[in-house]
Amino acid sequence: MTSASAARRRARKRRPASSSGIFFAGLACVALVLLSEARAATASLEARVDGGRVRGAVAHGVIAFKGIPFAAPPVGALRWAPPQPVRAWPGVRPALRFGPDCAQWPTPGDDAPLRTASQEDCLYLNVWRPKARSSRSLPVMVWVYGGGFVDGGTSPAIYDGTEFARDGVVLVSFNYRLGNFGFFAFPALDGRAGGGRRADYTFMDQIAALQWVRRNAASFGGDPRNVTIFGESAGGMSVNALLIAPLARGLFAKAIIESGAGRDNGYPLRSLTGSPDCAEAIGIKLARHLGIDGEGTVAMAELRALPAAKLVDGLNLDTRDDDPTYVGGPIVDGGLYPGAPVKIYQAGGGARIPVLIGANTDEISHWTPGSFAALWRSFGSDAAEARRIYDPDGRRTLQEVSTTAGGDQWMVEPARAIARILSARGQRVYEFRFGYRATALRKTLSGAPHASEIPYAFDTVATRYGGETSRADEAMARAVHAYWIAFARTGRPDPRGEPAWPQYHQSTDRIMSFTDRGPVPEADPWKHRLDIAERLARRTRH
């Protein structure tokens, strides 16, 4: 090579790149950056759980994962069996839509209408978490919906967990089997395969969901050691059941019970065996009603082969109490569900953790006395005082009085009884009475109806009341929501900027009243009234 040609070659090496070369190189760099960011964004939407990876969706600063299976479908041979592990899936499972709510016949006019078509394959859960990862593990709250153990699911809009996640909580909701799928006993059902568990499949599902939370909460930034369960109505009753269930011990650190009763006056509480109206006897009656005779394995196989719709059998809140083939609710099996929570607490049972408990000012009731005379007679020596309290001017109807008095007996007084028992043995307990009425309904409501606190706890009042939502409604929602979150974080409902919530002690009987004027800590204004309800409960051995 000549010196001249060598010089030309060196010159070509030193020559600046052309503008087109710079442009395409820049595009390549941008593409690499965008690809890297896309991969990072995709990764942030994913989590590894039992069975494989799931991918959620982001909105409003929150990532929601919906329709994650926490147990195998309870169908076929797994109908009336303890929940079984999920099967692994390949790749990444989209978690963008709610799984089906459990098989049911929805009650018309429900304030929390389902947004799925219900079916028997229903053991799915949902998780909401903040989009931004925290340097610390977040508190976890697990919602248990109500519906009388025959209705309900996780899909209703008022149960959306977005606001919890925006406020630094990992919110989980899950489905559980209902009606004849949730509570059922039959002589041929063998509990040995489930460690002796049979009949209360509702509670088995709930425990399986909590076990899933224990194993998987960290994948969503949650702290499995700081789990708070909360539920309303049948969900609140379920929280009570989980507090007294040995198999649930250690799966949660705090509990919130909203209108969750506790005495044995709400459901039949049948024993598993041993009497003409025991749970197995009702199971045999249901089988015959569905055209299946016998009590052995052949009859059991025929029952498991029935279409799910046959077993739903039109059962809902409107028909439940008059259905002689439905066992009615929780079954006392001596193991998973030992009996009425108040009695179990009185005997020293139940988890010893912080509890927040209460009920509403216009609760539901199942009390239907045939006449005023029968109603007042049931109060015994308190009859005159009960009449003065419940019908002071003699203008109320029998239905109005029995609903008010029955609500005290079924929901309000049992909440106080549990608060008294647990606080007396050293547990930290906080009692509430929810009386706030949405401003659009104040002309028609004398008190806060059963379940009306839910959209305030979830801060979803705009979803419930739409354009009629007022600033006062929104302020109350922020307050209730903040109290619930503060309790979940620390075991004390003490959010900054809100009135201090007194710890419950029988000697002071102080509660937090959520009134139309806002949260008001006060001595229970219903003390005398509930004392009468308590004496009635003792006379009737509830």
Give CA–CA dist 134/307, Å, rounded. Answer: 47
pLDDT value at residue 6: 45
Give CA–CA dist 306/438, Å, rounded. Answer: 45
Q: Is 450 a catalytic residue?
A: yes
Chain centre to alpha carbon of residue 427: 22
In a domain, 159, yes or no: yes
Q: Is 446 left (phi over 0), alpha (psi -120 to 50) or beta?
A: alpha
Q: Is 255 left (phi over 0), alpha (psi -120 to 50) or beta?
A: beta
Structural domain that includes position 294: 19-78+92-353
Q: Is the pTM of this model over 0.85?
A: yes
Classified as helix, coil or strand, 184 is coil
Examine the pLDDT at 23 and tell me if it is beyond 70. Answer: no
pLDDT value at residue 42: 54
In a domain, 8, yes or no: no
Task: Tell me the mean pLDDT in the region 84-92.
Answer: 98
pLDDT value at residue 266: 83
Instruction: Tell how strand 170-174 and strand 124-130 pair up.
Output: antiparallel
Task: Tell me the mean pLDDT in the region 172-176.
Answer: 99
Give CA–CA dist 28/39, Å, rounded. Answer: 16
When pLDDT is cut at 50, 70 and 90, the band that residue 28 belongs to is: very low
Tokens 């109290």 belong to 483
Between 364 and 20, residue with greater pLDDT: 364
Residue tagged active-site, from 232, 258, 280, 363: 363
pLDDT value at residue 15: 43
Give CA–CA dist 498/478, Å, rounded. Answer: 10
Examine the pLDDT at 19 and tell me if it is beyond 80. Answer: no
The token pair at 464 is 């419930």
Task: Tell me the mean pLDDT in the region 89-94.
Answer: 98
Number of domains into which the chain is organized: 1
Predicted confidence (pLDDT) per residue in 412-422, tens digit: 999 999 999 99
Q: Is 233 a catalytic residue?
A: yes
Task: Tell me the mean pLDDT in the region 459-488.
Answer: 98
Predicted confidence (pLDDT) per residue in 302-321, tens digit: 999 999 999 999 999 999 99
Give CA–CA dist 398/371, Å, rounded. Answer: 7
In a domain, 496, yes or no: no
When pLDDT is cut at 50, 70 and 90, the band that residue 4 belongs to is: very low
Residue tagged active-site, from 155, 233, 365, 513: 233
Which CATH number fits the domain that encloses residue 337? 3.40.50.1820
Q: What is the CA radius of gyration of the chain?
A: 28
Examine the pLDDT at 10 and tell me if it is beyond 90. Answer: no
The token pair at 479 is 């307050």
In a domain, 213, yes or no: yes
In a domain, 473, yes or no: no
Could you tell me which of 45, 63, 95 has the C-alpha nearest to residue 171? Answer: 63
In a domain, 310, yes or no: yes
The dihedral formed by the CA atoms of 259, 427, 493 and 463, expressed in degrees to the nearest 10: -20
The answer to whether residues 214 and 128 touch, using CB atoms and an 8 Å cutoff, is no
In a domain, 106, yes or no: yes
Examine the pLDDT at 39 and tell me if it is beyond 60. Answer: no
Predicted confidence (pLDDT) per residue in 106-119, tens digit: 999 999 999 999 99
Strand partners, 49: 52
Residue 92, burial from CB neighbour count under 10 angstroms (0-12, 13-18, 19+): middle
Task: Tell me the mean pLDDT in the region 16-38.
Answer: 46
**Mean pLDDT over the full length of the chain:** 92
pLDDT value at residue 193: 56
Tokens 């709400």 belong to 266
Chain centre to alpha carbon of residue 303: 29
Tokens 């139940």 belong to 350
Residue 50, burial from CB neighbour count under 10 angstroms (0-12, 13-18, 19+): middle
Sign of the CA dihedral 386, 391, 392, 393? negative
Residue tagged active-site, from 219, 259, 450, 534: 450
In a domain, 395, yes or no: no
Classified as helix, coil or strand, 433 is strand
Query: What residue ranges in 420-517 does DSSP mark as E strands?
Result: 429-434, 510-515
pLDDT value at residue 40: 42
Classified as helix, coil or strand, 133 is coil
Chain centre to alpha carbon of residue 211: 15
